[in-house]
Structure 1
Amino acid sequence: IMETRALLKMMGLNVPVYDYPIELKEFYGRKIYAGILGEIVNIPDNWGKFIKPKAGSKVFTGRVVNGTHDLIGIGLPFDYPIWISEVVEFIAEWRCFVLDGRVLDVRPYTGDYHAQFDASVIDEAISCWKDAPIAYGLDIGVTRDGRTLVVEVNDGYALGNYGLSPLKSINFHRARWKEMVKPYFEKMKFLKSNRMLFSKINMVDNQYKKHQNEQGGI
Structure 2
Amino acid sequence: MAPQYTTTGELLAASAHRRGLDVHVLPTRGGTGALRGRRGAHYHGGPAFAARVADDLDVALLEPADDWLTTLPHQYTGRRISLTTLAEARALSHPAFVKPPTDKSFPAAVHTDGTSLPTGLPPELPVQVSEVVTWAAEFRLYVLDGEVRTGSQYATYGSLDARPLEHHLHREAVREFAHDLLTNRGDGLPSAVVLDVGLLTGTRDTWAVVEANMAWFSNCYAADPDRALDVVLRSAGPREQLAERDRRFCRDGQQRAVADRQGAGSP
In the superposition, the TM-score normalised over structure 1's length comes to 0.70
The corresponding residue for 1:39 is 88
The corresponding residue for 1:212 is none
Map Cα deviations across residues 15-65 of structure 1 (whole Å, 9 max, x no partner): 554355266334111121111223232342xx21111124x3211011111
**Cα separation, partners in 2 of 1:102 and 1:13, compared to 1, 3 Å:** closer
The one of 70, 89, 95 aligned to 2:140: 95
C-alpha displacement of 1:109: 0.6
C-alpha displacement of 1:74: 4.1
The corresponding residue for 1:177 is 236
The one of 137, 142, 162 aligned to 2:199: 142
The corresponding residue for 1:130 is 187
The one of 145, 153, 160 aligned to 2:212: 153
The one of 106, 109, 112 aligned to 1:60: 106
- Tell which deviates more after alignment, 148-157 or 18-27: 18-27
Give the distance between the partners of 2:61 and 2:228, measured in 1 at CA.
24
Larger helix share, 1 or 2: 1
- Tell which deviates more after alignment, 93-102 or 23-32: 23-32
Q: Mark the structure with the bigger radius of gyration.
A: 1
The corresponding residue for 2:50 is 4
Give the match's secondary structure for 2:153: strand
Give the distance between the partners of 1:156 and 1:102, measured in 2 at CA.
14
The one of 76, 96, 107 aligned to 1:49: 96
Which sections of structure 2, spanning at least 5 residues, go unmatched? 1-46, 162-167, 243-257
- The RMSD of aligned alpha carbons is 3.4
2:59–2:237 CA contact under 8 A, matched in 1: no
**Cα separation, partners in 2 of 1:106 and 1:84, compared to 1, 3 Å:** same
Instruction: Output the amino acid matched with 2:153.
Output: P
**Cα separation, partners in 2 of 1:75 and 1:126, compared to 1, 3 Å:** same
Give the distance between the partners of 2:60 and 2:105, measured in 1 at CA.
22
Give the distance between the partners of 1:80 and 1:186, measured in 2 at CA.
28
Aligned residues: 189
Indicate the percent of aligned positions where both proteins have the same amino acid: 23
Map Cα deviations across residues 96-125 of structure 1 (whole Å, 9 max, x no partner): 111122111220111157984733211101
Higher relative contact order (CA closer than 8 Å, sequence separation 6+): 2
Which sections of structure 1, spanning at least 5 residues, go unmatched? 194-218
In the superposition, the TM-score normalised over structure 2's length comes to 0.59
